[in-house]
């Protein structure tokens, strides 16, 4: 794993409680907007996950508060949530979910899954990290399995990467590594590994292009 990701995970290990608290504070600033974003994300998850048979095994990388994992469980799927920080794991388990401590760049999967869900995690991966993650996920997906993830669009940023501690409600008291990818850069990696791009769209931000959102299928 990269030094950038390792140092960022150190921040989350120390500041997970702060992250959980600031996320709640952020949503309170504009509750109507937060509700709309939640509804849109749940519709996206439902549209894609429900193409799989009920009861299929799904794994989430970087579950944080466990809200997405809980929603996937409600849809009728066997979800395993994961994260690196104990406070995240405790938050997930408090929702009655199965949760494990798991670092996608260091730990190995012990079974195959029908889908892997990874939301707002690629932001902390270098290009070499992304290549490793995409390969590892491809190997453990069942045939026609799905990998659902998003990444911040390089077109919306002035630099390729940056260390950030936000001054607003997302302030954590320590800088985290952020990496931005172009669609062309990710598409090349994705197709070279062997995935089929099942669906793709952009969303978020002022021009609705902040996030590159992928649903990949193992052929």
The pLDDT of residue 37 is: 94
- pLDDT average, residue stretch 99-120: 97
- pLDDT average, residue stretch 199-207: 95
Sheet holding 141-152, edge to edge: 99-101, 78-83, 57-60, 113-118, 141-152, 211-218, 195-203
Work out the percent of the chain whose per-residue pLDDT is above 90. 90
Torsion of CA 137, 37, 87, 99, to 10 degrees: -40
pLDDT, one tens digit per residue, over 48-78 is: 999 999 999 999 999 999 999 999 999 999 9
The pLDDT of residue 26 is: 83
- pLDDT average, residue stretch 11-19: 95
The pLDDT of residue 49 is: 98
- pLDDT average, residue stretch 26-42: 92
Residue 209 pLDDT level (bands cut at 50, 70, 90): very high
The pLDDT of residue 154 is: 98
Mean per-residue pLDDT of the chain: 96
Residue 29 pLDDT level (bands cut at 50, 70, 90): confident
Residue 168 pLDDT level (bands cut at 50, 70, 90): confident
Beta bridge partners of 83: 101
The pLDDT of residue 170 is: 78
Q: Where are the domains of the chain?
A: 3-218
The pLDDT of residue 70 is: 98
The strand ranges marked E within 20-165 are 57-60, 78-83, 99-101, 113-118, 141-152, 161-164
The pLDDT of residue 167 is: 83
Domain topology for 3-218: Rossmann fold (3.40.50)
- pLDDT average, residue stretch 157-169: 91
> CA 179 → CA 18, 58, 72, distances in Å?
22, 26, 27
Residue 115 has pLDDT above 80, yes or no: yes
Residue 169 has pLDDT above 80, yes or no: no
The pLDDT of residue 172 is: 87
The pLDDT of residue 28 is: 87
The pLDDT of residue 171 is: 84
The pLDDT of residue 202 is: 98
């Amino acid at each position: 794993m990269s030094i950038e990701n390792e140092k960022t995970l150190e921040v989350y290990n120390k500041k997970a409680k702060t992250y959980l608290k600031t996320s709640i504070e952020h949503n309170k600033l504009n509750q109507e907007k937060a509700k709309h974003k939640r509804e849109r994300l749940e519709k996206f998850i439902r549209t894609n996950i429900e193409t799989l048979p009920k009861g299929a095994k799904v794994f989430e990388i970087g579950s944080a508060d466990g809200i997405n994992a809980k929603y996937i469980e409600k849809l009728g799927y066997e979800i395993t949530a994961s994260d690196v920080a104990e406070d995240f794991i405790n938050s997930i388990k408090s929702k009655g979910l199965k949760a494990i401590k798991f670092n996608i760049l260091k730990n190995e999967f012990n079974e195959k899954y029908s889908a892997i869900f990874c939301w707002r995690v690629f932001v902390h991966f270098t290009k070499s990290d992304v290549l490793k993650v995409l390969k590892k996920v491809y190997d453990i997906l069942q045939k026609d399995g799905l990998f659902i993830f998003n990444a911040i669009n390089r077109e919306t940023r002035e630099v390729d990467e940056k260390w950030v501690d936000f001054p607003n409600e997302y302030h954590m008291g320590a800088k985290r590594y952020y990496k931005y990818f172009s669609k062309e850069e990710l598409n090349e990696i994705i197709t070279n590994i062997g995935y089929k791009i099942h669906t793709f769209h952009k969303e978020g931000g002022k021009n609705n292009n902040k996030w590159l959102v992928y649903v990949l299928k193992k052929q």
